[in-house]
Amino acid sequence: MTATPTAEDRIALDVSDGDGARYASKPTLVDQPLTLGELIDVIDGAENLDAPEVPAGLVVGVFEFSQSGNPDFIYVRSELYPQLDAYYEQALRALFEDDE
């Protein structure tokens, strides 16, 4: 996800994955930086525009669709939200354990 200042002093959000797939996110414009919880909501609600058959969610949806069975298949990192990595690592491990 990238956050870009606009001329109207807002922040435009753009979501894509490491493979370049584009995602629709809500919201697309915000007035201030997102909290960790708001960021997670945007990531979890993002819908793949290039592959609508993939369930919503840039992390969990892609993991479930991939059926890789390996929680290390997806990783999340953020310089501004260092706790984001741990949050999704735990979420993916829980999904992996549920599938076993």
What Å distances lie between residue 98 and 45, 50, 71, 95, CA to CA? 21, 28, 12, 5
Q: Is 48 helix (H, G, I), strand (E, B) or coil?
A: strand
DSSP secondary structure letter of residue 8? T
What is the tens place of the pLDDT at every residue in 43-96? 999 999 988 888 888 887 877 787 766 666 677 888 999 999 999 889 888 877
Note the pLDDT of residue 94.
85
Q: Which domain range does residue 93 map to?
A: 2-99
When divided into structural domains, the chain yields a total of 1
